[in-house]
Amino acid sequence: MHPHIYSNGIICLDLLGSQGWSPVQNVESVCMSIQSMLTGNEKNERPAGDDEFVRSNRLRPRDIDFYYHDNTV
């Protein structure tokens, strides 16, 4: 479990959103960012509102406007 990964597999990471995406990114840099996010985690919990989000979300991950409020995890 991770506070930025929903139980349906959607990852909330600013690099993956339109705000953080850059044409300079490649597969290696994206994988390194995800690996860094996973290894730096000390909280064994789902994101706040996970149940409601998973139950009600019908958007594709790229169409979701996440609010990035906690970059410390």
Catalytic positions are: 12
User: What are the contacts of 39-48 at 24+ separation with CB within 8 A?
Assistant: 40/73, 41/2, 41/3, 41/73, 42/73, 43/2, 43/3, 43/73, 44/1, 45/1, 45/3, 46/1, 46/2, 46/3, 46/5, 46/6, 46/7, 47/3, 47/4, 47/5, 47/6, 47/12
